[in-house]
Amino acid sequence: MCPPVEDTPVNGTNGQANGSNGTNGDHPGFRAIQSSHNPHSNHKSPYQPVGDFLSNVSNFKIIESTLREGEQFSNAYFDLEAKIKIAKALDEFGVDYIELTSPAASEQSRLDCEAICKLGLKAKILTHVRCHLEDAKIAVETGVDGLDVVIGTSSYLREHSHGKDMTYIKNTAIEVIEYVKSKGKEIRFSSEDSFRSDLVDLLSIYSAVDKVGVNRVGIADTVGCASPRQVYDLIRTLRGVVSCDIETHFHNDTGCAVANAYCALEAGATHIDTSVLGIGERNGITPLGGLMARMIVADRDYVLSKYKLHKLKEVEDLVADLVEVNIPFNNYITGFCAFTHKAGIHAKAILNNPSTYEIINPADFGMSRYVHFASRLTGWNAIKSRADQLGLNMTDAQYKECTAKIKALADVRKIGLDDTDSIIRTYHQNLHSEVEKPLLEGLSAEEEQKFQEAEKSLGGVPEKRQLDQTADAEAEVPAAKKTRSAAVA
Ligand SMILES: [Zn+2]
């Protein structure tokens, strides 16, 4: 159970993010090149989860709540057209359920709910309502497949929100469940703020609703306070008390939303709530993309068989656009650098076998891998690979020398992809020409001096480079290069 949270005053407002989206591999001041080398080995990791009788990591369902929780995101305003676009995109992606805002919230919410029910989507349509008979009646009339009812059970909410005791909550829950079931609809009963509710209260009400035939009970970390271990303990305990399905809902205030969802499945939960990019109240809930990243590592076959992962970027771009935010640089799967490799050692290994530094195959999501080689961290394998793409052939010793010069220039100033391409081309040209051109145009006198000093130190090399040179002793190094005094005029 989570500790109580003190009330704190709210200061300031959040700024509005701009509307342009990041792209995979590129952003201002950072460019990378695509690597088409894409095979991942099929070797099983020794750290893959071991199946046990509780775990549902290979058998879970997604309740996608962008159109309910996501509507509570500060930037969100979805009109019917936007809601239909999102619902269709989620349905194409393959989510199991789409959850909508309560039709009791407003007249337009009710009309939108009816319109989405009429789309004939494959996903089941749910709506999220308070545990009131009146709200349930309105919801049933909209044509939804099921209702997610919720009531606060923590002492905070009982005292400061609805003011009802546990007996009242239990009786109301049973009345609503029996009504909804009599109308042939699916029903979930959830507490709110479950991790700060009394465990005995929680288990006794869940046991009672399980007995009257609820389809699912829900555990909600409404304030984002739970840790994975607390989640595992609570879900595992609950699994021993109820026989119905268990849905879970995790807020991300302390960065545990994906980990908590995963632990919930390990402990026997069956359904996970997500939203696109994690949007929701405050900083949101388990993101759909983050959950996919976690689950594809746990059971790739299951995830690939159910979800059209190539649609992830499309649905994220759609929602990011509608709520006017950028896709974060470090977003799971679709962040611009999610599959960009920079350090020389990483790039070399990735070019040999991507599994060395990637747990997820970008191709599974229709994404590309990039090798970022325009930096002082680059290595000669990355430069060799780039030279190949440029159609330039050199010996290993030449690639290494060219790489050393690129690294020296990158120490003098920030170099971009175009700069690096031009250095490689000029270096190659100089090998076969009497007249030696500067490797990089436009250096200031100071930069040039720095580069010349750096070049001098290239002779006194670390052990590793000497070893490399021994290995390449037979490689051809044209005389023109050796007589050069400075590469930059
Ligand atoms: Zn929530």
Residue 43, Cβ density class (10 Å: 0-12 exposed, 13-18 middle, ≥19 buried): exposed
- The DSSP 8-state label assigned to residue 142 in this structure reads T
Return the axis-axis angle of helices 107-117 and 80-93, rounded to nearest 10°. 40
pTM of structure: 0.81
Integer-rounded Cα Rg, in Å, for the chain is: 29
**Mean pLDDT of all residues belonging to the chain:** 85
pLDDT band at 458 (very low <50, low <70, confident <90, very high): low
Q: How far is the CA of 401 from the centre of ligand 1 (A)?
A: 56
**Residues 148-191: pLDDT tens digits?**
999 888 776 667 666 678 888 899 999 999 999 999 999 999 99
Average pLDDT over residues 266-295: 97
Nearest to 1 by CA among 157, 231, 324: 231
Q: How far is the CA of 406 from the centre of ligand 1 (A)?
A: 50
184: left (phi over 0), alpha (psi -120 to 50) or beta: left
Residues whose beta carbons lie less than 5 angstroms from ion ligand 1: 69
CA distance 199 to 134: 29
**Residues 260-274: pLDDT tens digits?**
999 999 999 999 999
Q: Is 346 annotated as catalytic?
A: yes
From the candidates 128, 251, 346, 428, give the one annotated as an active-site residue.
346
Q: How far is the CA of 456 from the centre of ligand 1 (A)?
A: 61
**Residues 385-432: pLDDT tens digits?**
888 888 899 999 999 999 999 988 888 888 888 888 899 999 999 998
Q: How far is the CA of 128 from the centre of ligand 1 (A)?
A: 11
Q: Are 428 and 437 in contact (CB under 8 A)?
A: no
Q: How far is the CA of 251 from the centre of ligand 1 (A)?
A: 6
Domains and CATH numbers, the chain: 61-323 (3.20.20.70), 380-488 (no CATH)
Three-state DSSP state, 40: coil
Q: How far is the CA of 76 from the centre of ligand 1 (A)?
A: 15
